[in-house]
Structure 1
Amino acid sequence: MKALIFWALSLLMIAAPASAQVIKDDNPYRLLEQVAEKTFARIAEERDRINDDPNYLKTVVREELMPYVDNIYASKKVLGRYFKDTSSEQRQAFYQAFTDYIVATYARAFTQYDESKHDVEFVNPKNVSPDDRAVRVETRVIEQGRPPIRLDFAVRYDSESETWKAYDLIVEGVSLLQSKQSEISSVIRARGIDNTIALLKDKAEQPISLDDEVDVPA
């Protein structure tokens, strides 16, 4: 199960750099496939630099991933019922802290990726009509000698940016967004929103090492 979570977290962060040319495609299936190929190619090309400085993975995540992740929508879902109990300032602070936290989390997840062992296949692509606003993109993680891992992206169309964005990943039928909501809600309940924000910030700032494991604040 831990291996599934590593893959889920790393793949969920498919995106493109805000400062570079953004990949545009009206079909979310093609879009995610193009960006995945670009992201994994960069990791392979910069493997030596990553091995020398694992913290560089945070840069890769920010530059190659974030704009195609609907981090605000995901943050609101994770905040859940505590949304109405927080001030506007607390919400904005939570959105930022949670975004920084998931960047660090996905950077750690990428320490588990080995381009010499892993392949990603996109399956069952479908045509998307102009009226579609939410789809599920199916992928499989292939590693020789092991059963394929099923990963389904929950993707929604963001009309403001006119881009399809991933906000959840269902790993072998388990929603990671729902899992995060449950885990972080328990922290908010025990420690309060301000302490939860501080905890997320602290974890986001911790350095990355190649033997890191993805961890959840508790």
Structure 2
Amino acid sequence: MKVLMTLVMSAFLAVSSASAEMIKEENPYTLLKKVADQTFERIGEDRSKISEDPNHLKTIVKDELMPYVDNIYASKKVLGRYFKDTDEQQRQAFYKAFTDYIVATYARAFTQYDESKHEVEFLQHPKVGPDDKVVVVETRVKEAGRPPIRLDFKVRYDSNASVWKAYDLVVEGVSLLNSKQSEIAAVIRSRGIEGTIALLKDKANQPIKLDDKVDVPS
């Protein structure tokens, strides 16, 4: 169950990068469903490429997922109280290192994905009002022989990009963004911000292998 939760987290909790073409959808519920469907379809279509070179999963993550996540907001949340202790150059370096680390982490999570077994169900959603800036998208992850896993995606409207972007995933009541913040804070306390950036870079550069284990910085 832990692997599957991490897998679905990877579909939405990442750090953003540029994409050639965005899905234009004003409704955040419909947007996330389209992104999920498109990503899982891409993995199925590229299965032979992935088998030949598992690092191709990084390309899929960058292409299909990253444009729909609020990277700056998520990165600042992960830095937490250490944000004020860093200068602008350190922050930018952290954003880049954290981006690459997350891409690699999610690529490893997708090595566990089997399109013939896993299904994500999006529950019926309420209407989105003109003043709504933050919404929660409720989903259930289903796998034969196992109870559904409850996943609540927190999504906020990015007025600069004029698009809805995910920034947190709550799994059975537990915020994964908060968990990641705790992990990074522990590393900063022991290694400092420069040491944390170096560690994230090192982990991001490690090659992806099929049946890889999802890693956390330490």
Question: What is the TM-score normalised by the length of structure 2?
Answer: 0.95
* 1:32 equivalent in alignment to 2:32: yes
Q: Which residue of 2 aligns with 1:49?
A: 49
Deviation at 1:31, TM superposition (A): 0.5
Deviation at 1:20, TM superposition (A): 2.7
Q: Structure 2 regions of 5+ residues with no counterpart? A: none
Q: Structure 1 regions of 5+ residues with no counterpart? A: none
Deviation at 1:132, TM superposition (A): 0.5
Rounded to whole Å, the distance in 2 between the matches of 1:188 and 1:100 is 18
| Amino acid in the other structure paired with 1:214 | V
Q: Which residue of 1 aligns with 2:152?
A: 152
Q: Which residue of 1 aligns with 2:104?
A: 104
Rounded to whole Å, the distance in 2 between the matches of 1:176 and 1:185 is 14
Q: Which residue of 1 aligns with 2:88?
A: 88
| Amino acid in the other structure paired with 1:62 | K
Tell me the secondary structure at the aligned position of residue 11 of structure 2.
Answer: helix
The Cα RMSD (Å) is 1.6
Q: Which residue of 2 aligns with 1:136?
A: 136
Rounded to whole Å, the distance in 1 between the matches of 2:107 and 2:20 is 20
Rounded to whole Å, the distance in 2 between the matches of 1:181 and 1:6 is 16
Alignment of 1:73-84 (within 5 A): 73-84=73-84
* More moved, 106-115 vs 16-25: 16-25
Tell me the secondary structure at the aligned position of residue 72 of structure 1.
Answer: helix
Question: What is the TM-score normalised by the length of structure 1?
Answer: 0.95
Deviation at 1:16, TM superposition (A): 9.3
* 1:189 equivalent in alignment to 2:189: yes
Residue 149 to residue 24, structure 1, CA distance change in 2 (3 Å): same
Residue 84 to residue 173, structure 1, CA distance change in 2 (3 Å): same
